[in-house]
Structure 1
Amino acid sequence: MNLTQWLEFIGQVHPREIELGLERSRRVAARLGIKKAPSVITVAGTNGKGTIVGVMEQCLCQFGIATGCYTSPHIDSFNERIRVQGKQASDLVICDAFAQIEAVRGDVTLSYFEFATLAALLIFQQQEVEVALLEVGLGGRLDAVNIIDPDVSVIATIGLDHQDWLGHDRESISLEKAGILRAGGWFVCADSNPPAALQNQAALLNCRSLYVGRHFSIQHQDDSSPCWHGQTSDGVDLTFALTPFPGLLADNVAAAAQALVISGLDVDWISRAVALRIDAIPGRQELRRDCDSGCRVLLDVAHNPHAIAALVSRVAELRDSGQVLGKIRTVLAFMGDKDVDSMLDALESTIDFWYITQVE
């Protein structure tokens, strides 16, 4: 089968599109002989996961460290989900991984996401990556990614989304995200207002916790380069300069750097960080220009009120700086389970013309 055929097949194996739980993935992973990579960083959260993973991936690749990166969902092609050294896995490599999974799964009915997760882990093992970056798909506690014990757990900002699965308030949702924490393990929190339930759970597990704004941050002083402040794994204060990263939220970049600093990498951060190039992450407040009209286009995957609020702030920033002039038009498409009314209310004062489409 080619990749298109495989993707159609794996979407039909399990009777439900979403089925949280670790037992199925664990059983098949054991049959495949999947082992943990030397270093694993797992990222959960409502908003900012993709940015944090993307920034870490860019840094590691520029350092020349063999890196596997698993994210979801994809924007254009499935191959985006599985990358090694910043390059998307080929159709052939992914199809081979699917074939190996299918050969051993027996009567275990894997979901689409579980198939994809196992394929990524198998490919990373075969490619002998030094660091595996794993983005949680939904929640954390029962997400397939969580069959692997992370060396560093990162939780991005927590908002209201997927409430039918995760709970109806930030406290409940944060406990699902906290499922990626490990007793005595490293925990990096990129939420500047972390729910009490999350902090209590980290304390209960005796995690070595680092919170944005308390233990690490990025500061901008006048027109100088952004400066990261944080801690090493030995608890020593560390400061280094970074190149500018327009369009990315400072707390997310700060959390990415903090996770890498404590992960045990042999990197001279003070001398090397200033040379890092941190590019825009596709679909995350990605500012581009239309080839035909020359108009500025801002692409963003915001799909909950918290993310929309960040998008509105970014648009205001672009307007205030003179990078965006004239009327602002938005093209919107939301899934039916989203808090559409709250998102439209947040956008109302910013948008001049609306184009409403649908998700296919």
Structure 2
Amino acid sequence: MIENFLSHSSEHSLDEWLSYLESLHSSEIDLGLTRVGEVAERLSIDFSFAKVITVAGTNGKGTTCAFIEQVLLSKGKSVAVYSSPHIEHFNERLRINQDDVADQPIIDAFKQIEQARAEISLTYYEYTTLAAFLILMSERPEFIVLEVGLGGRLDATNIINADIAVVTTVDLDHQAFLGNDRETIGREKAGILRTKQHAILGEVFPPESVLKYANDINANVWQREKSFCVSFSDDKTWFWQSSSHNFNNLPLPYIPLDNVATAIMVITLLVPEITEMDLIKAINKTRVAGRTEHFKASCDVVLDVGHNPLAARYLSQYVKQYVQNKPEAKVYAVAAMLADKDIKSTLIELHKDIDAWYVASLTVSRGARAQVLAEYLSVAEGSVNCFDKVEDAYKMALSKAQSTDLILVFGSFYTVASIRKLLV
């Protein structure tokens, strides 16, 4: 198949390449650095020209990366962000100075990798990560922000030694690959930390395994509520403080505040001259697609890629605040999830906040059937309606909602992508 693909034409489209990459490896996820590390060595991958920030965590990675990016750009720095998965277009995975990379550089990078890998089989993620790295070596931005795909220790991004490593949160997700408790999962995520380099921990109480590993390798740890603190004066402003910086009267962000607080710790290390006004401007400007992303249709619509219990707890708080501000509002949930997620625990976190559920099947190989979600929602106080497609579930919710109501769409990147294209 490989020879047929490569000899069929001298040029293939990006979509053709991506389809080809999906067929190369025996499994979609195959953690380990041996294969990708060997090919990276053949390609002479080297980021010594840039400051590298690697961000791991169960939730909050994308928004933390986005805020770091926004502040650095506002200070005139050149910044690249590599993240995954994408919502609508593959090119979203690599942006340089907030512009998604074009098709041709990706295709050119794929060609280089195909020549270099020879007998080595790479997963889709490993292949595409190496492509991003080749493009970054060509573009040479001052700062590179890498969002870890899965775990940390064995994720393909971890072939790079970061100047600053961030662990946002640690909770249950991807247990089949990372472990069944926070301590085991925490140790996997801590694998991105490096000796004598900065380690930013975004939780007040991170797993002991993270703290132990950081201490064992002599990392320079900055921990929430020990090295940097957050406080509130009222429900509209907040404060951030460390031993070297004090920022007052910060506005509430459009993304989770905890992630902004973690990102500020990173920023103060990278750009010590950062000012309160710089942060205020960045807070007001930073929005991230698919992360409590707000749209106005015939009623309010919020999209969120949240797909685990921790994300659902955050969404529960968001919904409660929304209803507190608009007591007349009813909340309609449109949900679809992957079968390998903790569907029951995720839905239970929200079941008391929702007036009516519109659950759908995901038409992808790992997708869960709507009836599975409905079964777990047997304890829900509102009605539960099943649909074959996410779009149909959303359209029905929209037909039922009044102008004062809220439709919350969540459960996976696939779920959000299905509805976002109807709204943008």
**Residues 1:46 and 1:224: Cα distance change in structure 2 (over 3 Å):** closer
C-alpha contact (below 8 Å) 2:268/2:274 kept by paired residues: no
The match for 1:354 among 357, 374, 379 is 357
The match for 1:262 among 269, 278, 281 is 269
Write the mapping of 1:187-198 to structure 2, written as runs, cut at 5 A: 187-198=199-210
Secondary structure of 2:146 counterpart: strand
Instruction: Tell me which residue corresponds to 2:46.
Output: 35
C-alpha contact (below 8 Å) 2:201/2:221 kept by paired residues: yes
**Residues 1:90 and 1:325: Cα distance change in structure 2 (over 3 Å):** farther
Offset of 1:146 from its aligned partner? 0.1
CA RMSD of aligned residues (A): 1.7
C-alpha separation between the residues in 2 aligned to 1:242 and 1:68? 29
Please say which of residues 102-111 and 174-183 is displaced more in the overlay. Answer: 102-111
Secondary structure of 1:107 counterpart: coil
Write the mapping of 1:72-151 to structure 2, written as runs, cut at 5 A: 72-151=84-163
Instruction: Tell me which residue corresponds to 1:303.
Output: 307
Which protein is bigger by CA-based radius of gyration? Answer: 2
TM-score in terms of structure 1 length? 0.93
C-alpha contact (below 8 Å) 2:203/2:223 kept by paired residues: yes
C-alpha separation between the residues in 2 aligned to 1:47 and 1:109? 30
Structure 2 unpaired stretches of 5+: 1-11, 365-424
C-alpha separation between the residues in 2 aligned to 1:218 and 1:317? 20
**Residues 1:278 and 1:227: Cα distance change in structure 2 (over 3 Å):** farther
Offset of 1:270 from its aligned partner? 4.3
C-alpha separation between the residues in 2 aligned to 1:38 and 1:261? 17
Structure 1 unpaired stretches of 5+: 231-235
C-alpha separation between the residues in 2 aligned to 1:318 and 1:271? 28
TM-score in terms of structure 2 length? 0.79
C-alpha contact (below 8 Å) 1:69/1:134 kept by paired residues: yes
**Residues 1:58 and 1:245: Cα distance change in structure 2 (over 3 Å):** farther
Instruction: Tell me which residue corresponds to 1:289.
Output: 296
**Residues 1:327 and 1:268: Cα distance change in structure 2 (over 3 Å):** closer
**Residues 1:239 and 1:74: Cα distance change in structure 2 (over 3 Å):** same
C-alpha separation between the residues in 1 aligned to 2:314 and 2:239? 22
**Residues 1:271 and 1:305: Cα distance change in structure 2 (over 3 Å):** closer
Instruction: Tell me which residue corresponds to 1:341.
Output: 344
C-alpha contact (below 8 Å) 2:91/2:101 kept by paired residues: yes
C-alpha contact (below 8 Å) 1:245/1:279 kept by paired residues: no
**Residues 1:114 and 1:96: Cα distance change in structure 2 (over 3 Å):** same
The count of corresponding residues between Structure 1 and Structure 2 is 350
For residues 288-343 of structure 1, what are the alpha-carbon distances to aligned partners after superposition, in whole Å with 9 as ceiling and x for unaligned?
A: 212xx1x1111111111111011000110111122x74221111111111111112
Write the mapping of 1:169-184 to structure 2, written as runs, cut at 5 A: 169-184=181-196
**Residues 1:106 and 1:298: Cα distance change in structure 2 (over 3 Å):** same
Instruction: Tell me which residue corresponds to 2:382.
Output: none
C-alpha separation between the residues in 2 aligned to 1:207 and 1:42? 14
C-alpha contact (below 8 Å) 1:157/1:192 kept by paired residues: no
Offset of 1:266 from its aligned partner? 6.3
Offset of 1:262 from its aligned partner? 1.3
Identity of aligned residues (%): 39
Offset of 1:245 from its aligned partner? 4.2
Write the mapping of 1:160-239 to structure 2, written as runs, cut at 5 A: 160-222=172-234, 225-230=237-242, 236-239=243-246
Instruction: Tell me which residue corresponds to 2:77.
Output: 65
Instruction: Tell me which residue corresponds to 1:22.
Output: 33
C-alpha contact (below 8 Å) 1:24/1:109 kept by paired residues: yes
C-alpha separation between the residues in 2 aligned to 1:242 and 1:98? 47
Offset of 1:14 from its aligned partner? 1.2
**Residues 1:162 and 1:326: Cα distance change in structure 2 (over 3 Å):** same
